[in-house]
Amino acid sequence: MTIESFKELTFEEKLNQLRHSGELLGSYDRNGEQNGPKVPGDIFALYDFWVYLSDDEETIIPSRRNPLPATP
């Protein structure tokens, strides 16, 4: 699956992909909208891209780069 095809899935299909094929990499606090408070969530590796899922499972954001710091 590509990031483009993931973006076309319904919200429920995206959650199912994360639950069945995603690899949890760790917690991540994403910057809020318009300098608002940070939004806690998790980063998942999924195929050849990464996905942010908020703790309340209402926000799913795919990315071509891993926002977590590299481990030495």
Contact status, residue 43 vs residue 18, Cβ threshold 8 Å: no
> pLDDT value at position 19?
94
13 CB-near residues (< 8 Å, 6+ apart): none
> pLDDT value at position 72?
61
pTM: 0.87
Per-residue tens of pLDDT for the chain, all 72 residues: 999 999 999 999 999 999 999 999 999 998 877 888 889 999 999 999 999 999 999 999 999 988 887 666
